[in-house]
A = this chain, B = another copy of it.
Amino acid sequence: MDMVELTKKVMEGDVRSASRLIRNLEDGSADAKQVIKRIFPYTGKAHIVGLTGSPGAGKSTLTDELIACYRKTEKSIGVLAIDPTSPFTGGAILGDRIRMQRHAEDPNVFVRSLATRGAMGGLSKAVGDAVHVMDVMGKDMIIIETVGTGQQEVEIINHAHTVIVVLVPGMGDEIQAIKAGIMEIGDIFVINKADRDGAGKLYKEVMSMLDMAPSFPGGWRPPILLAETVFEPPKFSKEVEKIAEAIDAHYKHLIENNILGDRVRRKALHEMNEALKQAILEPVLNKLIADGDFDRMVEQLMTKESDPYTLADQVGNKYLDKCIRE
């Protein structure tokens, strides 16, 4: 299939074409990039929701139940699950995401996993492009589910309009510290497994953290919702319905208060940055590697003949346009 045909198929919502395109984006294919150029003008219609939180917090179960809840309203849903890739285990670990398979037969639910390859990727470069694909497929809502907690997961703010932070009682103090990294990005907090000991304490902690915040952008104070996602499919609880309501309320708030634009700008800014990284840095690195210069420089570091800053400045002087260097 050529790129024009593939673009057309994806925009018609064809699942197989979209899956193929996302796989090619993961592989860094240049053709896939051409398709993104074509579909880009048609993006920007979906509500993008990010789900992040401690490992084992039940994010996948929550996503699964949110899908079921939203499907009652006839909304079409895309889910992008970020999976760690391990050479040790030989592939993406899907864990209980397999549960979401119950929606596999539903043509209005499109679930895809993206592997974060290697250590450097952070939230895989392909995330933004995969979201674009689901967007032009006509999904009303796209849920991005991250793996675990960490500095890396904070990047979800660069992709989502609404960020849900899922917490769970009974984790250690150090977890609390790490949470601090994601506390300021939450638009909605969910305390999952709220039947467990310590749920009340956690609720109070989050509440007092919010009380400490100097202000809330756009005047949205993040609600704290409780959930117990322990039921078997295809049931879902009143609590999940409340979370879905909060998600919708936040989107409405963004639009009505004219602050959706800020989120869209943040996404655009991030996307531009990533694209520049690729367009500026990669050709220089490729040239250095092709010419054997990179190896020579590494050798010079190992023999202490030079230092990284001096060598990098030399590369800059050689390959950057004069107007940049001056």
Contact = CB atoms under 8 A, between A and B. Distances in A.
A174 B148 contact: yes
Contacts of A320: 280, 283-284, 319-321
B41 A307 contact: yes
Interface in A65-123: 84-89, 93, 95-96, 116, 118-122
Interface residues of A, number: 94
B171 A309 contact: no
Interface in A268-326: 268-269, 271-281, 283-285, 287-288, 294, 297-298, 301-302, 304, 307-313, 315-316, 318-321, 323-325
Given A150-B150, A151-B119, A319-B320, A308 B88 contact: no
A278 B147 CA distance: 28
A124 B38 CA distance: 36
Given A178-B148, A268-B301, A302-B265, A323 B287 contact: yes
Copies of this chain, complex-wide, total: 2
A172 B279 contact: no
A173 interface: yes
A120 B121 CA distance: 11
A275 B36 contact: no
Nearest to A325: B283
B180 A312 contact: no
A239 interface: no
Nearest to A307: B40
A1 interface: no
Contact of A44 (B154, B304, B313): B304
The secondary structure that dominates the A interface is helix
A17 interface: no
A153 interface: yes
Contacts of A273: 285
Interface string A201-229: 00000000100110000000000000000
A224 to B, nearest CB: 15
Contact of A173 (B85, B96, B157): B96
Interface in A117-174: 118-122, 147-155, 157-158, 171-174
A33 B309 contact: yes
B309 A275 contact: yes
A177 B312 contact: no
A147 B177 contact: yes
A183 interface: yes
Given A93-B180, A149-B150, A272 B311 contact: yes
7 contacts: A56-B171, A56-B172, A56-B174, A147-B178, A261-B302, A271-B308, A275-B312
